[in-house]
Structure 1
Amino acid sequence: MHAHTTTDVQPFSVNPDFDFEIRTAIGRTAAGAGDPGEILAATEQVRKNDHEGWFDAWNALADRTAQTADTAASRGHTVSAADAYLRASAYYAVAVNALSSLDDTTRLQPTFAKQQTAWGGFLTHTTANITAIQIPYENDALPGYFFRASTYGTAPTLIAVNGSDGSLAGLWASCIQPALARGYNVVAFDGPGQQSQLFDKNVPFRPDWEHVLTPVLDHTLTLDGVDAAKVAVYGISQGSYWVTRALAFEHRFAAGITDPGIVDVSTSWTSRLPHSLLTVLDSGDTAKFDKEMAFGMKFSPDTARTWAFRARPYGTTGYGETIRAVRAYTVADVASQITTPLLILSPENEQFWPGQAEQLADLTREVSTVIPFTAAEGADGHCQPMARALTAQRMFDWLDEQLTH
Structure 2
Amino acid sequence: MHRLFPSEFFHFEAMRLLSFTPYEGCEIAEFLDAVGKIRDCDVESWYCAWMEAGVRAEEVAAEAEQAANREAARRAFLRASNYQRAAQFMLNGRNPSTEPRILRVSETSISNFGKAQYLMDAAVVKLEIPYQDITLPGYLYLPAPSKQLPGKLPILLNTVGGDATQEEIFFILPREGLELGYAVVTFEGPGQGLVLRRDKIPMRPDWEIVVTAVLDHIVEHAKANPKYNLDVNKFAIAGSSVGGYLCLRGASDSRVKACISVDPFFDMWDLLKGRVPEFLIHAFEAGGFVPDYIWEIFANIVSTVNPQTKWEFNHLRWMLGVQTVPDVFRRMQEFTFKQRDATNWLEKVKCPVFVTGAASSMYAMPEISTTKIYNSLAHLGEKRVQWIAENPYDGGYQSKVGALGLLNMKAFAWLDSVFDIDRKIPYKKMGRIDGAPSSKGNSVVDVPFSHVLGRNERDDCLYIAAQQKNSGVNIASVRGRQAGYR
What TM-score do you get using the length of structure 2 for normalisation? 0.77
User: Alignment length, in residue pairs?
Assistant: 396
Partner of 2:29: 37
Partner of 1:364: 377
Q: For the residues of structure 2 that align with 1:168 and 1:245, how far apart are their CA atoms? A: 19
Q: Which amino acid aligns with 1:258?
A: S
Q: For the residues of structure 1 that align with 2:113 and 2:185, how far apart are their CA atoms? A: 16
8 Å Cα contact 1:69-1:82 kept in structure 2: yes
Q: For the residues of structure 1 that align with 2:306 and 2:234, how far apart are their CA atoms? A: 49
Partner of 1:157: 155
User: Which of 2, 5, 29 is the matching residue for 1:13?
Assistant: 5
Give 1:252 shift: 1.9
The 5 Å alignment of 1:173-252 reads 173-222=171-220, 223=222, 224-247=228-251, 249-252=252-255
Give 1:31 shift: 1.3
Give 1:299 shift: 4.5
**More off after superposition, 15-24 vs 375-384:** 375-384
User: Which of 276, 298, 301 is the matching residue for 1:273?
Assistant: 276
Q: Which amino acid aligns with 1:370?
A: Q
User: Which of 350, 371, 386 is the matching residue for 1:339?
Assistant: 350
| Partner-residue secondary structure (3-state), 2:205 | coil
Partner of 2:362: 351
Give 1:70 shift: 2.8
8 Å Cα contact 1:256-1:342 kept in structure 2: yes
What TM-score do you get using the length of structure 1 for normalisation? 0.92
Give 1:353 shift: 0.6
The 5 Å alignment of 1:300-339 reads 300-333=306-339, 334-339=345-350
Q: For the residues of structure 1 that align with 2:206 and 2:161, how far apart are their CA atoms? A: 15
User: Which of 65, 70, 86 is the matching residue for 1:73?
Assistant: 65
**More off after superposition, 135-144 vs 74-83:** 74-83
Structure 1 residues 304 and 105, CA gap change in structure 2 (3 angstroms): same
8 Å Cα contact 2:317-2:324 kept in structure 1: no
User: Which of 252, 256, 279 is the matching residue for 1:253?
Assistant: 256
Structure 1 residues 64 and 329, CA gap change in structure 2 (3 angstroms): same
8 Å Cα contact 2:242-2:264 kept in structure 1: no
Give 1:270 shift: 4.9
CA RMSD of aligned residues (A): 2.0
Give 1:298 shift: 4.0
Per-residue deviation, residues 297-356 of structure 1 (Å, max 9, x unmatched): 444455223321333211110000011111100113311221111000122322211021
Runs of 5+ consecutive residues of structure 2 not aligned to the other structure = 223-227, 340-344, 422-486
Runs of 5+ consecutive residues of structure 1 not aligned to the other structure = 1-8
8 Å Cα contact 2:316-2:328 kept in structure 1: no
User: Which of 104, 116, 125 is the matching residue for 1:122?
Assistant: 116
Partner of 1:95: 87
Structure 1 residues 186 and 17, CA gap change in structure 2 (3 angstroms): same
User: Which of 137, 142, 149 is the matching residue for 1:148?
Assistant: 142
Q: For the residues of structure 1 that align with 2:408 and 2:306, how far apart are their CA atoms? A: 38
Partner of 1:393: 409
Per-residue deviation, residues 154-193 of structure 1 (Å, max 9, x unmatched): 2111001111111233211111110001100001111111
Structure 1 residues 56 and 173, CA gap change in structure 2 (3 angstroms): same
8 Å Cα contact 2:81-2:109 kept in structure 1: yes
Structure with more relative contact order (C-alpha pairs < 8 Å, separation 6 or more): 1
Q: Which amino acid aligns with 2:229?
A: G
Q: For the residues of structure 2 that align with 1:280 and 1:81, how far apart are their CA atoms? A: 55
Q: For the residues of structure 2 that align with 1:311 and 1:58, how far apart are their CA atoms? A: 25
1:111 aligns with 2:99: no
8 Å Cα contact 1:269-1:323 kept in structure 2: no
Q: For the residues of structure 1 that align with 2:253 and 2:323, how far apart are their CA atoms? A: 32
Partner of 1:3: none
